[in-house]
Amino acid sequence: MTYCVAIKVEQGLVLTSDSRTNAGVDHIASFRKLQVFEVPGERVIFVQSSGNLATTQSVITLLQTAIRNSERHILNVPTMFDVAEIVGKTARQVIKRDEGQAQGVDFSCSLIVSGQVKGEAPRLFHIYPQGNFIEAGEDTPYFQIGESKYGKPMLDRVVNFQTPLDRALLCSLVSMDSTLRSNLSVGMPLDVIVYKSDSLQCGGIVRLQEDNEMFRQVRNAWSEGIRQVFENMPSYTAEICAAQPESRSSGDK
Amino acid sequence: MTYCVAIKVEQGLVLTSDSRTNAGVDHIASFRKLQVFEVPGERVIFVQSSGNLATTQSVITLLQTAIRNSERHILNVPTMFDVAEIVGKTARQVIKRDEGQAQGVDFSCSLIVSGQVKGEAPRLFHIYPQGNFIEAGEDTPYFQIGESKYGKPMLDRVVNFQTPLDRALLCSLVSMDSTLRSNLSVGMPLDVIVYKSDSLQCGGIVRLQEDNEMFRQVRNAWSEGIRQVFENMPSYTAEICAAQPESRSSGDK
């Protein structure tokens, strides 16, 4: 599986993706699930992908090919909405191409498309396997794809549109940590992009390896912190437990 | 959906179940998903259920009917292993009875069977939709069924076989809270059982209603606690953010 999360806040975008792909537990590999397309100063587009790797690689390649060969492509359409539409249409084409041979294989994929075109604010879209899509607003400033449930409670509690960029990144790393701990199919290294609104260029993908000291500190501080919270919670439940029948001695039957 | 969790620790068993059932968002109802069978002083058996409600209700009814009419049933077989086998077999029968009419309906169910028969320690089993089952040991002292992912990270971090009963209950309530917050199909009230090893009787099911003061305190303390942990975490990620390109003024293209 995969876990990708994208957060859109006032100051910009924070994107985090794991890199593990697997077809069964003994066929594990590491692939980039976060791609950048840009015309510095004019637009920058990020695509995160989950689902069938053959499908998502085809989608990325077709988007790149279209930039060279087509009249209309993601680097020249006027808005991020048009970009999302092109990506959705491309995903639909690839899935349609392959699904005839199904034989129980799931060819579907989910994508998160985000970025900024000059003249617009940064935008964030979730593209479904059917090729249709939704856009994040201020009420729900994040999207997740892949193994999203383990890491969702943290996002629900902490992130909103006003969260500063570095705290949004910290939250997405904590969310990633919960997922890594509970699900073997999500694995290091992580790819991270922090995009500042109106910079209109990508400073590069930050890759956090297994031994990354910063991420190790985040994981330890979080783990230790919530253990402390739990340990310091009063024994609210002692009353329920005290009310239960005690062990029966052999005589009281 | 449903969320049920069962924890087996040295001091006994802690079982927690939500009570929401739904067939679409406008067909929501509340049903008990936690059943008790007992012969006080001799054995006590708990069944938690998730999945198709028609299936799980049939399974419970057939178990009850067998107690009255069959020679061999869950209240007279010699071990909890035999109990798990009977429950699994019953689930298989019910699913087989209904699945001919499938029409896209999922008739499957998952069950957690736990309890104690005099002469054995308390035992805990997870019964799959296929009727086969696994037993919890000291390494993995808990099972979950239904919407299990939201509440799993907490269990993974906190619970082990030595955890006291009241802390295991507190942890299962926190795990339930994470699930209630992130998934609409899991809902109050909650049913809770705390079983002390060798008591060989059930003190009753504790029902926690929406307005339960203790559960409200647990939720608030947890929510406030982890928000504090997050807020107090150093800004580990500031460096990554600082390294990103700033907004481009119109002159620097």
Residue A232's pLDDT band (cuts 50, 70, 90): very high
Query: For position B212, what pLDDT does the model report?
Result: 93
Residue B253's pLDDT band (cuts 50, 70, 90): very low
Coil, strand or helix at A251 = helix
Q: Which residue has the tokens 């004019």?
A: A42
Residue type for position A110: S
Residue A252's pLDDT band (cuts 50, 70, 90): very low
Look at residue A245 and tell me if it is in a domain: no
Look at residue B251 and tell me if it is in a domain: no
Look at residue B141 and tell me if it is in a domain: yes
Query: With an 8 Å Cβ cutoff, are A230 and B170 in contact?
Result: yes
Query: With an 8 Å Cβ cutoff, are A199 and B167 in contact?
Result: no
Please tell me which of the candidates B158, B229, B236 has its beta carbon nearest to residue A214: B236
What is the arithmetic mean of pLDDT over B49-59?
90
What is the arithmetic mean of pLDDT over B64-75?
95
pLDDT tens digits, one per residue of A114-169: 999 999 999 999 999 999 999 999 888 999 999 888 889 889 888 999 999 999 99
Look at residue B189 and tell me if it is in a domain: yes
Calpha distance B237→B38 (Å, rounded): 55
Query: With an 8 Å Cβ cutoff, are A182 and B237 in contact?
Result: no
> What is the total count of domains within chain B?
1
Q: What is the mean pLDDT of chain A?
A: 89
More confident residue, B107 or B118: B118
Chain B residues touching residue A158 (CB < 8 angstroms):
227, 230
Query: For position A22, what pLDDT does the model report?
Result: 65
Query: With an 8 Å Cβ cutoff, are A241 and B158 in contact?
Result: no
The contacts of residue B145 (CB under 8 Å, 6+ apart) are: B2, B3, B4, B48, B49, B50, B51, B110, B111, B112, B126
Calpha distance A33→A5 (Å, rounded): 11
Q: What is the sign of the dihedral through the CA atoms of B199, B205, B206 and B208?
A: positive
**A129 within 8 A of A110, measured Cβ to Cβ:** yes
Chain B residues touching residue A152 (CB < 8 angstroms):
150, 182
Look at residue B176 and tell me if it is in a domain: yes
Residue type for position B197: S
Please tell me which of the candidates A166, A221, A245 has its beta carbon nearest to residue B241: A166
The contacts of residue A13 (CB under 8 Å, 6+ apart) are: A6, A7, A46, A114, A115, A122, A124, A193, A194, A195, A197
Look at residue B229 and tell me if it is in a domain: yes
What is the arithmetic mean of pLDDT over B124-134?
94
Among the ranges given (A49-58, A183-192, B34-43), the one the predictor scored with the smallest mean pLDDT: A183-192
Pairing of β A123-127 and β B12-17: unpaired
Q: Say yes or no to pLDDT of B66 above 90.
A: yes
Q: How far is B241 from chain A (nearest CA, A)?
A: 6
Q: In the β-sheet with A142-146, what is the strand arrangement from edge to edge?
A: A142-146, A3-9, A12-17, A190-196, A206-208
Q: Which residues pair with A75 in a beta bridge?
A: none
What is the arithmetic mean of pLDDT over A178-183?
85
Query: For position B30, what pLDDT does the model report?
Result: 65
Residue type for position B148: S
Closest residue in B to A197 (Cα) is B247
Best residue of B220, B244, B252 to probe chain A, by most A CBs closer than 10 Å: B244
Q: Where in the sequence is the domain holding B71, given as residue range(s)?
A: 3-233
Query: With an 8 Å Cβ cutoff, are B241 and A149 in contact?
Result: no
Best residue of B240, B247, B250 to probe chain A, by most A CBs closer than 10 Å: B240
Task: Read off the CATH number of the domain in which A87 is found.
Answer: 3.60.20.10
What is the arithmetic mean of pLDDT over B124-147?
93
Look at residue A44 and tell me if it is in a domain: yes
ipTM of the complex: 0.83
Chain A residues touching residue B43 (CB < 8 angstroms):
none
Q: How far is A105 from chain B (nearest CA, A)?
A: 19
Q: What is the mean pLDDT of chain B?
A: 89
Q: How far is A206 from chain B (nearest CA, A)?
A: 8
Please tell me which of the candidates B182, B199, B217 has its beta carbon nearest to residue A156: B182
Structure tokens at A220: 């330890």
Query: With an 8 Å Cβ cutoff, are B235 and A170 in contact?
Result: yes
Query: For position A251, what pLDDT does the model report?
Result: 46
Residue A89's pLDDT band (cuts 50, 70, 90): very high
Calpha distance B104→A218 (Å, rounded): 45
Query: For position A253, what pLDDT does the model report?
Result: 40
Calpha distance B115→A165 (Å, rounded): 50
Structure tokens at A92: 């639909």
Look at residue A243 and tell me if it is in a domain: no
Please tell me which of the candidates A198, A227, A235 has its beta carbon nearest to residue B166: A235
Q: Which residue has the tokens 């082990």?
A: B160
pLDDT tens digits, one per residue of B183-197: 877 888 899 999 999
Q: Say yes or no to pLDDT of B252 above 90.
A: no
